[in-house]
Amino acid sequence: MLWHTLPRSPALPPLYWRAALKRKITGTTLPTSGLHCRVQVNPEAVAAYRKVCGFAESPMLPATYPHILAFGLQLQLLTAREFPFPLLGLVHLSNRIRVFRPMGGVSDVRVSVHTRNLQPHAKGATFDLITTVEDSLGLLWEGESRMLCRGVKLDGEAPEQSLPAPNTVNELTRWQAPSDIGRRYARVSGDYNPIHLSALTAKLFGFPQAIAHGLWNKARTMAALHEHLPSANIELYVEFKKPVRLPGEVILLAGAPGSSGELQLKGSGDIEHMLGKWQPIA
């Protein structure tokens, strides 16, 4: 892996423009290089994120917050000329995070991003976007987002990968996903994907109404599960199913508190939005 070090997290507006202009698949090989840079944690930005995602005040960073620290680097990586797939239209299938140590007192970190594991899929091809966060003591946090690019032709069989429906979960809580949550999440995350912002912009991409961001669904779920979960040595994995249309109500079902368990996010009419599990890091 060849690493390029950036002096700071990239500015987002030029990257949005680059993403908007690239609409074609230009290859079937992932880049062999990654990006990293040092990032400062801004307490005011963390507080705004907590408010949007429902996290209580705490000296610990929310387990999902490193996604926000990495977003500029991820956008630069996925809009680079050598990256073969257009960013607009990628589908986030699943997300895994690992919290190795308690994330208290985190202020200055090194964030790294790269891609790997290109595989055939029934609808195209998938790859993993890997993000790591290191502090002065070493690896603190790792994230793995599986992304689908439709229309890519790869040789080979598509591997079957899906969580079974949980059978030991009960309703824990429910909440409203308001019509403006996509815009509010965009302001704290930097992710202004049109499918999340309004019905008008979502319709341009084939959605009848705006849908909630998958990582907001996961963050809101982690906030609701706060009392259930250990603060470190934990792996949290979710698969995104049917999108949450805005506005809408979602219901969180979960197993008993402990070092491992299962979760399910459902909507009206028993629609399944997200499946997940947590467990100690192997």
Q: Tell me the β-bridge partners of 132.
A: 112, 142
Rounded to 5 degrees, what angle do the CA atoms 9, 13, 247 make?
100
CATH topology of domain 163-282: Thiol Ester Dehydrase; Chain A (3.10.129)
As a three-state string, the secondary structure of the chain is CEEEECCCCCCHHHHHHHHHHCCCCCCCCCCCEEEEEEEECCHHHHHHHHHHHCCCCCCECCCCCHHHHHHHHHHHHHCCCCCCCCCCCCEEEEEEEEECCCCECCCEEEEEEEEEEEEEECCEEEEEEEEEEEECCEEEEEEEEEEEEECCCCCCCCCCCCCCCCCCCEEEEEEEECCCHHHHHHHHHCCCCHHHCCHHHHHCCCCCCCECCHHHHHHHHHHHCHHHCCCCCEEEEEEECCCCECCEEEEEEECCCCCCEEEEEECHHHCEEEEEEEECCC
Q: Is the pLDDT of residue 282 over 90?
A: no
Spatial distance between the Cα atoms of 229 and 266, rounded to a whole number of angstroms = 20
Give residue-wise pLDDT tens across range 118-166: 999 999 999 999 999 999 999 999 999 999 999 998 988 887 778 988 9
Query: Binning pLDDT at 50, 70 and 90, where does residue 207 land?
Result: confident
Query: Binning pLDDT at 50, 70 and 90, where does residue 205 land?
Result: confident
| CATH number, domain 1-161 | 3.10.129.10
Asked if 60 contacts 231 with a C-beta cutoff of 8 angstroms, the reply is yes
R_g of the chain computed on alpha carbons: 18
Cα dist from 167 to 124, 255, 264, whole Å = 31, 9, 10
Q: Is the pLDDT of residue 170 over 80?
A: yes
pLDDT for 156: 85
For the record, the structure tokens of 200 come out as 């008008």
Q: Is the pLDDT of residue 168 over 90?
A: no
Spatial distance between the Cα atoms of 1 and 75, rounded to a whole number of angstroms = 19
pLDDT for 206: 84
Inter-residue long-range contacts of 193-199, CB under 8 Å, 24+ positions, other chains counted: 193/88
Same fold, 1-161 and 163-282: yes
pLDDT for 189: 96
Asked if 196 contacts 212 with a C-beta cutoff of 8 angstroms, the reply is yes
* Burial zone of 112 (CB within 10 Å; 0-12 exposed, 13-18 middle, 19+ buried): buried
Share of the chain above pLDDT 70, in %: 100
The mean predicted confidence, pLDDT, of the chain is: 94
Domain regions of the chain by residue span: 1-161, 163-282
Amino acid identity for residue 109 in this structure: V
